Amino acid sequence: MALNATLLLLNATMRAVVWSGIPFNVTVQNVPVPTIQAATDARVRITAAAICGTDMHTYHGTYGSDSAPWIMGHEAVGIIESIGSAVQNIQVGDHVVIPDSFDLGELNMALAEPWANDGAAPGLGLDYGEFYGCQAEYIVVPFADHSLWHIPSNGAVNTSREIDYLFTSDIFATGWSGVSYSGFVPGDSVAIFGAGPVGLLAAHSAIIRGASRVYVVDHVEQRLELAESFGAIPINFNGTNGTAVEQIMRLEPDGVTRSVDCVGYEAVNKINERQSNLIIMDMVAVTSSRGGISSVGVYTHNGATAGTPLGNTTTPNVEFPIVNFFEKGLTYRAGPVDVKLNAPQLTHLIETGVANPALIVSSFIDIEQAPEYYRRFSDHLETKIVIRFP
């Protein structure tokens, strides 16, 4: 397997989920175990890793590095196995969260924020940094003191709520940020578009933060039932009650205060065809004057490469309803999320029992089952999948 040779430990292998550039196909392979290369590195033995919606973009052949193969995954928790000589805040044996973006180790004056796609994201191949992915038995994390954070414990490894903390690595922080990006304040009504993992946790976040009403829009009934179970109002855009906008406007004649796009460019319409502008059009239509909309669902256009063989099926331009947006005086914020900025607050909410993001998990699996469960997730038969390691 053509991974960075400087990371390889000869004669030691581990099991890992590998993307080889074949759409709708991942495999589980023996790959070399990574080794510490810098004084600021830490090697983590992974205890649990998740399959994410972003992994689905890669699985569908449209997102990631130009060249393959690479190890998948960017959400994980684990135990520190070894550290470099310069690591100070992390110790061997610590139980930590591995986020979807690592610290850069330097100040980048060209950026306003240290976004996850600035060459420091695991599980997306060499163009995003020479890192392994998290769906493997081990990973080496650079600048560990600033990339990792602890799972609260009383001197012992905390396994009782490990999966709740796992989701601070990406989807809980991303859903939370999507609500923040919309300009949310307590008492607002919110429409969440997409009941995948990020959308479900965006709804959970809005409820925690004091939304008056939260609507969740999707077409997968099991996901909508889950959203309803923790207090959201389900809206099935593929049913007989009209479009999502029509259904919400019957309940909110002036529109909702905030809308959040948790799907991105893979949004589909009533006939299950991809329509990348659908959610943006619906958000502008359903949001009240002087309200706010946001997008944390991925929009990307890689073009066709060995790593993204179907990348030319996306578009770099999406039609935007500028007149309605302008006349309503709406605001719009979109973009990737630096989950590290949210980690302290979300960790506290979990520790105190206010937040329970693990409620969205539908299956726990062994790594050897990953190819089957990638298919199930792609077919909307799962809400969230967690790979457990011994």
HEC readout, 248-273: HHHHCCCCEEEEEECCCCCCECCCCC
Nearest-angstrom CA–CA distance, 278 and 259: 13
Please check the confidence at residue 187 and state whether its pLDDT lies above 60: yes
Q: State the average pLDDT for the chain.
A: 92
Q: Kindly report, residue by residue over 242-279, the tens digit of the pLDDT.
A: 999 999 999 999 999 999 999 999 999 988 899 999 99
Widest CA span in the chain: 66
Please check the confidence at residue 7 and state whether its pLDDT lies above 70: no
What pLDDT is attached to residue 249?
97
pTM attached to this predicted model: 0.93
CB atoms within 10 A of CB 359: 16
Phi, psi (5° rounding) for residue 79?
Answer: -110, 130
Mean pLDDT of 301-319: 92
The enclosing H or E element of 18 equals strand 8-19
Mean pLDDT of 310-317: 91
From residue 59, alpha-carbon distances to 162, 168, 286 in Å are: 26, 23, 32
The structural domains of the chain, ordered by start, are 5-169+356-388 (3.90.180.10), 171-334 (3.40.50.720)
Q: Kindly report, residue by residue over 334-359, the tens digit of the pLDDT.
A: 999 999 999 999 999 999 999 999 99
Provide the pLDDT confidence category of residue 178 given band limits of 50, 70 and 90. very high
Q: Is 10 exposed, middle or buried (0-12, 13-18, 19+ CB in 10 A)?
A: exposed
Mean pLDDT of 23-38: 96
Please check the confidence at residue 3 and state whether its pLDDT lies above 90: no
- What residue has token string 């630096």? 338
What residues does 80 pair with on adjacent strands?
44
DSSP H helices, 135-237, are 144-147, 162-166, 171-181, 197-208, 221-229
What pLDDT is attached to residue 80?
97
What pLDDT is attached to residue 338?
92
Omega of the bond prior to 69 within 30 degrees of 0, cis?
yes
Please check the confidence at residue 75 and state whether its pLDDT lies above 90: yes
Give the whole-number percent of the chain exceeding pLDDT 90.
84
CB atoms within 10 A of CB 185: 12
